[in-house]
């Protein structure tokens, strides 16, 4: 019986590769429920009851790379390109800090020119200046997702961000299978992607003081359960602090349409299994419930939380830019205002037995322990801390 074997594996202190492959392939509802309950309980034990918000600011869709799956790759000339102004970026970060989000994520296509590097540096300096308060003494936490850069650039941005306790960088390697990686990143030239570079940059980021995050796509055409198992082992070998994984979804603007994509229901379950098994193997890391889960099912992110995710990334990009930042098709919440998004999401999270970690910077506990820091205290239930327009005075407001 599959569920009897599942229960037996979930009692083991360590999972073998064979066990991982078995758990990733679960489809019957009873076994999936056992996996979900084990992952949720492990998350509560290791990470507490809070889900951390990272306010996502998609600051530019200009990209010099050409990942074949991506809707905003360089060769897609049908996309209207944009870059938010410094004022818009800082305003979105300040809104996040004042609304109780402990951190923001600045994301954009990949650019390595000095103009862009200096622009990001200026934005980070301004964000830090505008968000330091008694509630956030180092300012709002910052996660960068700005592609492959040089070690010097990582150091410049780290210094500008001014928040060494809550400074993070996300760089997904997408798949640890070199053949699949080539299929996804076939472009030639200066910006050709190589798997070894992705691994190297994670080491560079750690040296520069960042909490490091990586991740993969689930359900890439041709990907096997063994590939996904190797991805999890790679997370372990890289000793990463944060993981962001999403289902592989086709993009009209990409060039892989001929390969098709998995049946949505199977893709959803595989993605959830991957989150759960990653939680069981990796322990106290931050795992994001990807917005792409919501593109398959309206409550996709909440189910991701039930399966062991503890981070969500509400979109703070101004509405006029959102349609231009579609890495995959059917991206959800294109028309929602940030205020709508935050309260809708808070209710959705509460419906799954978790609460929002208002004003928590939400550092990975794996990182905190590696660096001899205590766990961050969870806020009192039902209340959150906000700031008035001066950005300094702390007031208490009732959440929801
Ligand atoms: S995945 Fe990132 S680096 Fe690759 S084309 Fe899309 S935006 Fe550019």
Ligand 1 contact via 171 beta carbon (within 6 Å)? no
Residue 213 has pLDDT above 80, yes or no: yes
Domain that holds residue 226: 2-398
Query: Using CA atoms, how far apart are residues 200 and 223, in angstroms rounded to an integer?
Result: 23
Ligand 1 contact via 67 beta carbon (within 6 Å)? yes
Model confidence pLDDT, tens digit, residues 122-156: 999 999 999 999 999 999 999 999 999 999 999 99
Atom of ligand 1 nearest to the CA of 109: 7
CATH code for the domain in which residue 155 is found: 3.20.20.70
- Expressed in angstroms and rounded, the spacing between residue 327 Cα and the centre of ligand 1 is 8
Ligand 1 contact via 308 beta carbon (within 6 Å)? no
- Expressed in angstroms and rounded, the spacing between residue 368 Cα and the centre of ligand 1 is 30
Nearest residue (CA) to ligand 1, atom 2: 109
- Between 341 and 95, residue with greater pLDDT: 95
pLDDT of residue 25: 98
Residue 292 in tokens: 């792409």
**Beta-strand pair 286-289/103-108:** unpaired
pLDDT of residue 321: 77
Model confidence pLDDT, tens digit, residues 34-46: 999 999 999 999 9
Ligand 1 contact via 72 beta carbon (within 6 Å)? yes
Query: Using the 8-state DSSP alphabet, how is residue 83 labeled?
Result: B
Name residue, tokens 């993009």. Answer: 251
Ligand 1 contact via 246 beta carbon (within 6 Å)? no
Lowest-confidence pick of 24-33, 271-280, 358-367, 391-400: 391-400
Question: What domain count does the chain have?
Answer: 1
Name every residue whose Cβ is closer than 8 Å to that of residue 6 and which is 6 or more positions away in sequence. 22, 23, 26, 31, 34, 35
Ligand 1 contact via 306 beta carbon (within 6 Å)? no
Model confidence pLDDT, tens digit, residues 112-121: 999 999 999 9
Ligand 1 contact via 217 beta carbon (within 6 Å)? no
Nearest residue (CA) to ligand 1, atom 7: 109
Angle, helices 264-282/29-47, rounded to nearest 10 degrees: 40
As a whole number, mean pLDDT of residues 328-337 equals 60
CB 68 within 8 A of CB 254: yes
As a whole number, mean pLDDT of residues 203-213 equals 97
- Expressed in angstroms and rounded, the spacing between residue 68 Cα and the centre of ligand 1 is 9
Residue 257 has pLDDT above 50, yes or no: yes
Three-state SS annotation for 274-292: HHHHHHHHHCCCEEEECHH
Ligand 1 contact via 73 beta carbon (within 6 Å)? yes
pTM for the whole thing?
0.91
Name the band, by pLDDT with cuts 50, 70 and 90, for residue 391: very low
Ligand 1 contact via 366 beta carbon (within 6 Å)? no
- Among 59, 68, 72, residue to substitute to test ligand 1 (most atoms within 8 Å of Cβ): 72
Model confidence pLDDT, tens digit, residues 294-304: 889 989 999 99
pLDDT of residue 333: 62
DSSP per-residue letters across 61-82 = ---S---TT-TT-TT-TTSPP-
pLDDT of residue 120: 98
pLDDT of residue 244: 95
């Amino acid at each position: 019986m599959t569920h009897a074997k599942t229960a037996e594996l979930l009692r083991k202190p360590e999972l073998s590769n064979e066990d991982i492959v078995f758990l990733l392939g679960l489809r019957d509802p009873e076994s999936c429920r056992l996996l979900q309950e084990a992952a949720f309980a492990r998350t509560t034990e290791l990470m507490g009851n809070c889900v951390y918000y990272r306010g996502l600011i998609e600051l530019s869709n200009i990209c010099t790379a050409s990942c074949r799956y991506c809707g905003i790759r360089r060769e897609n000339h049908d996309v209207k390109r944009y870059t938010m102004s410094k004022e818009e970026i800082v305003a979105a970060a300040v809104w996040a800090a004042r609304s109780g989000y402990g951190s923001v994520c600045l994301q954009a296509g990949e650019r390595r020119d000095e103009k862009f590097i200096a622009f990001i540096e200026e934005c980070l300096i301004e964000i830090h200046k505008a968000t330091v308060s008694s509630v956030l003494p180092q300012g709002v936490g910052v996660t960068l997702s700005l592609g492959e850069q040089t070690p010097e650039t990582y150091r410049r941005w780290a210094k500008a961000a001014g928040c060494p306790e809550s400074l993070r960088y996300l760089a997904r390697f997408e798949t640890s299978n070199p053949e699949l990686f080539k299929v996804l990143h076939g472009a030639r030239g200066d910006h050709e992607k190589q798997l070894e570079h992705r691994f190297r940059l994670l080491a560079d980021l750690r040296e520069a003081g960042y909490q490091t995050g990586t991740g993969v796509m689930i359900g890439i055409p041709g990907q096997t359960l063994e590939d996904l198992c190797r991805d999890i082992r790679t997370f372990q070998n890289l000793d990463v602090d944060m993981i962001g994984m999403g289902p592989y979804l086709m993009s009209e603007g990409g060039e892989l349409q001929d390969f098709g994509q998995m049946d949505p229901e199977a893709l959803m379950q595989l993605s959830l299994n991957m989150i759960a098994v990653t939680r069981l193997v990796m322990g106290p890391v931050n795992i994001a419930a990807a917005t792409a889960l919501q593109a398959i099912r309206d409550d996709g992110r909440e189910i991701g939380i039930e399966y062991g995710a503890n981070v969500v990334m509400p979109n703070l990009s101004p509405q006029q830019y959102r349609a231009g930042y579609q890495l995959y098709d059917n991206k959800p919440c294109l028309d929602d205002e940030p205020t709508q998004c935050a309260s809708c999401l808070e209710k959705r999270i509460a419906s799954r037995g978790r609460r929002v970690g208002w004003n928590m910077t939400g550092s990975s506990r794996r990182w905190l322990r590696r660096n001899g820091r205590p766990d961050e205290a969870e806020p009192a239930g039902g209340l959150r801390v906000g700031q008035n327009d001066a950005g300094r005075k702390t007031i208490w407001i009732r959440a929801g």
